[in-house]
Structure 1
Amino acid sequence: MSPTPLAADLVVTGGRVWTSDPARPWAEALAVRDGLLLDVGTVDEVARHRGPDTEVHDLAGALVLPGLVDGHVHLNLAGAQAAFELPLLPSDSLDDVLAKVRAWAGRLEPDAWVVGGILGSTLLGQLAEERHRLALDEASGGRPVLLRDDTMHNRWVSSRALELMDVGPDSPDVEGGRYVRDDAGRLTGVLHELASARAESAFAASVADPQARMREAVATAVRVLNSYGITSVQEAATMGGPLAALRELEAEGELTLRVVASLPVRPFLEDGAVGGELIAEARAQRSELVRPDFVKVVLDGVPMTRTTALLEPYLCRHGEPATTGDLYYDLPDLVAEVERCHDLGLGAKFHATGDASVRLVLDAVEQVRARRGPGPRFQIAHAEYVHPDDLPRFAALDVVADASPYIWFPGVIQDSIAAHVPTEVVAASWPFRDFLDSGAVVAAGSDWPCAAPTPDPWTGLEAMVTRRNPDPAVPGTLNPGQALTVQEAVTAFTTHPAEAMGLGDVTGRLTPGRSADFIVLDRDVFAVDPTQVHATQVLRTWFAGRLVHTADEPTTRP
């Protein structure tokens, strides 16, 4: 006599369930018990688990996917932008930005900060004269203003903000950053790289209750992510404040996604402990949902400010001095950093946006792997520009290609990049097909709030397949030979980032024993025209067997 099947808390049945399990990629139903998948199979197989108290959802043929996994987000920055700050678009003109600043400032107290983003980096590069800063002063009514660009590495600030930063006409540039000046040597208010940290510190000093603000920001980000079907994320640069907010939300039962944190080893754009102090504090409080299992190592900047490290010089169209960008580490220092990670059993997310910085990471990892053998998993963000000789090294060294942000198609950000980076380098960017064919893992990440005002995965997923901008008004393709199939792209948004983050046995597939993280969609992304994937809506999101989003309920979205 066969044992009585366990009764499920929840049965979801009558749909097309893509499991991402090579042994059984498709199913019709699934059963959930105690937050875990109890069974995944046919309608009849799963029906065995119906009990008198089982909640049953009929899918009416809808597609179910594993909960999406975003491999690169900034929860505090993104949530604060969505909850508190002036929303800007990368396509906004200067007149648009000034009009929005004027309207926003009109609702504030006279000494309140105007904080917002995202400012297009193309526009930021055009703010080359003092008169632009004075126009910002007028629009804001003399208030301090801090506007972040689409890379989140650079800022535009007003005169009052510069005063609060204690920056004046004779202030020297900070190490690793620059106060941009016009031809007459006058401050424009544009801040590059670590100069932006001074502005962030000045703004932070004005916040009456920073931890309460941070908690609301992180909670907002979680709700937005759930609304897009995202149930696990890797936080890409996690300081102590956001970690405390995450722990508070988890203790209150309000953290409805899984977070793998990446702890900065050096100061960057936010105040607070970094390196060993932060690592010790964070690891002591590791929990089921908040896992500080990575560090963040920044090797270079961004292409738009010519701080990305390239093997060949940037374009020199206006008489600029020849440069290949910046590197913040040499090989011995980086090897030492990688060895520390190996000794601590921590993975690392390396910010390396150019082919020279990517090569440096691979060289360092190669040395450590040769001496120490296999160890923690390493990721290279953003794996945009990779020399052909280095492509097979990702798989050989077990290094993940962190594909973020979603800019592998023509658009305003690519236009900005093309003004600086050699044409042949741009034309070969985002080599996803070559990565997969060589055996490497491609893990998608939004980099929200960088590059786009939302973490919407469906635009990025579609463009992985088409290499086109989902907006038909923007023509052309970007390196179309590197396009993926829909199934490969879905894997890059589910299974691969879960594995890259150390969550492969927890989520990313729909198999018995894994967390019941799954979503129901309004369309079958495997069957529709790929150019319609970007319009996908998530009808339901379940996290650990808990319904955390329904499309018929209002959700705060940026």
Structure 2
Amino acid sequence: MPTTPSPCDLLVTGARIWTADPDRPWAEALAVRDGVLLAVGAADELARHAHPGTEVHDLAGALVVPGLVDGHVHLNLAGAQAAFELPLLPTDQLPDVLAKVRAWAAELGPEEWVVGGILGSTVLGQLTDESHRLALDEASGGRPVLIRDDTMHNRWVSSRALELMGVGPDTPDEEGGRFVRDGAGRLTGVLHELASARAESAFAASVPDMTARIREAVATAVRVMNSYGITSAQEAATMGAPLAALRDLEVRGELTMRVVASMPVRPFLEEGPVGADLIARSRDLTGDLVRPDFVKVVLDGVPMTRTTALLEPYLCRHGEPGTTGELYYTLDDLVAEVERCHDLGLGAKFHATGDASVRLVLDAVEQVQARRGPGPRFQIAHTEYVHPDDLPRFAALGVVADASPHLWFPGVIQDSIAEHVPEHVVAASWPFRDLVDSGAVVAAGSDWPCAAPTPDPWTGLGAMVTRANPDPAVPGTLNPAQALTVEEALTAFTAHPAQAMGLGDVTGRLTAGRAADFVVLDRDVFAVDPGELHATRVLRTYFAGRLVHTAEQPPA
């Protein structure tokens, strides 16, 4: 006798469903029970799972794809920016920035901080003397100001902020950071790398209830992510307080996203314990949805401040001293970090933006694997510049290329990079095609709030296909031979980042037994002109079978 089909809670039918499953890439219906996909297949087959209590959604031919997975995001910084802070666009010029600071400050008390972002790298590069700091003082009415740049590695602060930081004309630079001075030795207010942490600490000291602020910031970030169809993410640098806030949301049943945390092993731009202390604390903050399974290791800086580690010298167009950038680790030190990852069973996300730092990671992983065999998952963020000799090593070593397409399409950041990085190196950047063809896992992420004011995955996905900025005011393409197909780019935003962060058996594909994380789109991304991919909008987002966003909701 035929068996009775298991009943489902939710039946999604009448759809065109891309499953990201190579064995069965297309389906018509999904049956969901208890937040898990019970069956995926033809509409007439799955209709048997319906019973009187089943909720049925007929999508009238709309495209459904797996819930998107953001492999690189900063939830606390991004959520705080969205919930509390002065919004700046990376395209804002200096007069625009000062005008926005002036208007924002007018609503504040005399000692309240003006905190905001994101400041374009090209503007940051213009802040070369004391007069720029004094202009910020005037715009803010003498208030403390902290403005973050589009890399989140650097800050611009006012005189009052410097005073609260305890920084004066004779203050030595921080280890791993710099208080930028003009030709006469006067502070410009620009802070590079870990000098920014001192500003963040001074601001944090002014917040009456930082725990409540972080909780609201993280909750805001999750809502925004859901509105773009994102149902899982890897937090790229997770301090203890945001990790606790995420776990608190999960305990209260309010977390509508899976989050894998990456814990810094050395002092970072945000406050809090790092390394062994943070890893020990994380053991009490682990749940089904919150997984502190990675560490974060920062090997270099960013090319705009000439702190990315390159194999050949930077340009010296403005009389700067010759340099190839800076490596924060020796090979022996990095091998020790990789060994600790093996010992602890933790993966690692390595910030390595230059071809020299990328090579150092690959060398360290190769050396440890030769002794101990395959180990935890390792990712290199942001795989911006990779020497051709190192491209096949990603697949050979099982190292994931953590791609950040929002950072590379022609625009403000690339304009700034072109001032410093040799042209042929820039021309060969973001080699996604070569990495995919070599068998490497390419996992995309927004790096929100860096580079763009939202984590919109569709702008990044479109750029992976077109290698162009979706803004028609910004012409040109960047290394167009490295373009991916729509299916490859969508895989880089679904199955691959899920695999890279250890959730490949849970989400990223629509197959029976995986979580019912999926989104309904307003267009068929496989059929539209690639130049229109960036305009894709999410009609509905389902997380574990729950509807957590609809287009009818107000914009996040």
Instruction: Give the CA RMSD over aligned residues.
Output: 0.7
Please name the residue that 2:400 is paired with. 400
Contact 1:362 1:393 in 2 (8 A): yes
Cα offset for 1:405? 4.9
> Structure 2 CA distance, aligned partners of 1:532 and 1:331?
44
Q: Deviations over 1:318-369 (max 9, x none)?
A: 1111000010000000000000001111100000000000000000000000
Of 128-137 and 403-412, the range deviating more from structure 2: 403-412
Kindly state the Cα deviation for residue 286 of structure 1 after the two structures are TM-superposed.
1.4
Are the aligned partners of 1:405 and 1:451 in contact in 2 as well (CA < 8 Å)? Answer: no
Provide the residue aligned with 1:20 in structure 2. 20
Task: Tell me which residue corresponds to 1:134.
Answer: 134
Q: TM-score, normalised by structure 2?
A: 0.99
Contact 1:405 1:450 in 2 (8 A): no
Distance 2:555 2:214 in 1: 19
Task: Name the counterpart of 2:116.
Answer: 116
CA distance in 2, matches of 1:155, 1:281: 29
Q: Which runs of 5+ in 2 are unaligned?
A: none
* Partners of 1:485 and 1:70 in 2: CA distance: 19
Between 113-122 and 2-11, report the one with greater CA deviation. 2-11
1:52 maps to which residue? 52
- C-alpha offsets along residues 246-279 of structure 1, whole Å, 9 cap, x if unaligned? 0111111110000000000001111111111111
> What is the letter of the counterpart of residue 283 of structure 1?
R
Query: Which whole-Å CA distance do the structure 1 matches of 2:408 and 2:259 have between them?
Result: 25
- Structure 2: how far apart are the matches of 1:120 and 1:23? 44
**Separation of aligned partners in 2, 1:448 and 1:95:** 25
Q: Distance in 1 between matches of 2:272 and 2:285?
A: 17
Specify the alignment match of 1:93 in structure 2.
Answer: 93
**1:547 aligns to what SS in structure 2?**
strand
The residue number in structure 1 matching 2:10 is: 10
Within 5 Å, give how 1:29-428 maps onto structure 2: 29-428=29-428
CA distance in 1, matches of 2:24, 2:192: 50
CA positional deviation for 1:408: 3.0
Is the Cα contact below 8 Å between 1:293 and 1:346 reproduced in 2? yes
Residue matched to 1:432? 432
Deviation at 1:555, TM superposition (A): 3.5
Per-residue CA shift, 1:374-429, capped at 9, x if unaligned?
11110000001000000000000000000025133211111111111010000000
* Contact 2:444–2:493 (Cα < 8 Å) also in 1: yes
Residues 481-492 of structure 1 aligned to structure 2 (within 5 Å): 481-492=481-492
Specify the SS of the correspondent of 1:48. Answer: helix
CA contact (8 A) 1:410 1:478 kept: yes
Q: Distance in 2 between matches of 1:318 and 1:384?
A: 24
Please say if residues 231 and 256 of structure 2, whose CA atoms lie closer than 8 Å, have aligned partners that are also in contact.
Answer: yes
Q: Which runs of 4+ in 1 moved over 6 A?
A: none
Q: In structure 2, how many angstroms separate the alpha carbons of the residues matched to 1:338 and 1:64?
A: 39
Say which SS state the counterpart of residue 381 (structure 1) adopts.
strand
In 1, Cα distance between equivalents of 2:404 and 2:465 = 15
User: Match of 2:166, as an amino acid?
Assistant: D
Contact 2:405 2:463 in 1 (8 A): no
Letter in 2 for 1:28: E
Q: Which amino acid aligns with 1:412?
A: V
Q: Equivalent residue of 1:71, what SS?
A: strand
2: CA distance, partners of 1:370 / 1:541: 43
Does structure 1 conserve the Cα–Cα contact (< 8 Å) formed by 2:409 and 2:468? yes
The residue type equivalent to 1:80 in the other structure is A
Q: One-letter code of the match for 1:92? A: D
- Rounded to whole Å, the distance in 2 between the matches of 1:475 and 1:270 is 36
Counterpart in 2 of 1:508? 508
Aligned residues: 556
Secondary structure of 1:406's aligned partner? helix
C-alpha distance in structure 1 between counterparts of 2:284 and 2:377, whole Å: 21
| 1:457 partnered with 2:467 | no
Amino acid at match of 1:436: V
Name the SS of the counterpart of 1:407 in structure 2: helix
1:447-497 Cα offsets, whole Å, 9 max, x none, are 000111100000110110110111111111100000000000000000000
How far apart are the structure 1 equivalents of 2:32 and 2:164?
A: 54
Return the alpha-carbon distance in structure 2 between the equivalents of residues 379 and 109 of structure 1: 44
CA contact (8 A) 2:354 2:386 kept: yes
Note if contact 2:405-2:461 (Cα within 8 Å) is conserved in structure 1: no
Q: Distance in 2 between matches of 1:14 and 1:413?
A: 43
Q: Deviations over 1:132-186 (max 9, x none)?
A: 1111001001100000000000000000000000000111111111101111111
> Separation in 2 of the partners of 1:408 and 1:169?
36
SS at match of 2:513: coil
Alpha carbons 1:17, 1:64 under 8 Å: kept: yes
| Code of the aligned partner of 2:61 | G
Looking at structure 2, the residues matched to 411 and 455 of structure 1 have their Cα atoms a distance apart, in angstroms, of: 17
Secondary structure of residue in 1 paired with 2:474: coil
Q: Secondary structure at the match of 1:191?
A: strand
My pick for the range that moved more, 149-158 or 272-281, is 272-281
Measure, in 2, the Cα distance between the counterparts of 1:498 and 1:449. 21
What is the identity, as a one-letter code, of the residue corresponding to 2:545?
A: G
Question: Counterpart amino acid of 2:434?
Answer: D
In structure 2, give the amino acid aligned to 1:209.
Answer: D
SS of aligned partner of 1:293:
strand
Q: Distance in 2 between matches of 1:487 and 1:208?
A: 48
Q: 1:473 and 1:237 mapped to 2: Cα distance?
A: 33
SS at match of 2:117: strand
Contact 1:405 1:447 in 2 (8 A): no
Q: Distance in 2 between matches of 1:17 and 1:546?
A: 18
SS of equivalent residue, structure 2 residue 282: helix
